[in-house]
Amino acid sequence: MATHSLTLPPTRESVADIRVGDIVYLTGDIVVTGGLPAHKRIVEYLDAGKELPVEMGGVFIHLPHMVEENPDGGWTIHYVNPTTSTRFNNFLPRFVRDLDLHILGGKGGVNEETAQAMEQQGCIYVSLLGGGSPIMSEGIKEVRQVEWREFPAHFRLSRLRVENFGPLTVGVDAHGGSIYETLSEQARGRLPEILAQLDKRRAEAAGA
């Protein structure tokens, strides 16, 4: 396991040597949202050939966040809390390709179709620490931009300036390696043993 400090925006080359299980820290701008409405609107923009109101910069993270606008027009961020990426699997292969992503993040990983798109694009998936809001919040230095403000705060599309944001664990690398697929294979391999144990216990209970 290696540790990498990445300066954003990322490139295909900057993530090429990163492997599943490595730890990553990010410094630069990240684009975040936590909601389905924002994903649907991104698709609308892509379908219409319109530019998004924020510069993606190669990073897209599923990170619900609570921000409050200040009287001077700036923003205060109160907390962040990563959400599950698998909820958005239907959108992600297209986002990886059409938004030129090299870092995708959230919780729970992505499906095989998304992982294949990531391998073609040269993109990694980083897993955020569940329940680690205080640690992650320390890495957020500035709210640079908040768009689609008619949405609830968690669903908006925002650009955040971060410094040493992490630790983030690489769940899928740019070469097709996936910790989630490995875990699934291990679980499938143990299934016959588990079923046999259940059958044995049922038989013992019936004979008692």
142-152 pLDDT, tens digit per residue, is 999 999 999 99
Residues 124 and 205 in one domain: no
Residues 104 and 187 in one domain: no
For the segment 92-99, the average pLDDT, to the nearest whole number, is 97
The pLDDT of residue 81 is 87
Nearest to 166 by CA among 22, 57, 34, 26: 26
Residues 86 and 166 in one domain: yes
Q: Domain range for residue 187?
A: 178-208
Return the CATH number at 69: 3.20.130.10
Tell which wins on pLDDT, 179 or 168.
168
Total domains in the fold of the chain:
2
Residues 109 and 38 in one domain: yes
Considering the entire predicted model, what is its pTM?
A: 0.85
Reduce the DSSP state of residue 164 to 3 states and report it. strand
Percent of the chain residues past pLDDT 70, beyond the cut: 86
The pLDDT of residue 118 is 96
Residues 88 and 29 in one domain: yes
In terms of Cβ atoms closer than 10 Å to its own Cβ (0-12, 13-18, 19+), residue 100 is middle
Whether 108 shows a pLDDT value over 50: the answer reads: yes
- CA distances for 20 relative to 5, 61, 82, 208, angstroms: 15, 18, 19, 48
pLDDT bucket at 130, cuts 50 / 70 / 90: confident
Residues 66 and 76 in one domain: yes
pLDDT in tens, 16-25: 999 999 999 9
Mean residue pLDDT of the chain comes to 87
The pLDDT of residue 174 is 95
Whether 94 shows a pLDDT value over 90: the answer reads: yes
- CA distances for 58 relative to 6, 45, 73, 195, angstroms: 12, 17, 27, 44
The pLDDT of residue 188 is 43
Looking up tokens 């959230």, which residue turns up? 106
Residues 49 and 90 in one domain: yes
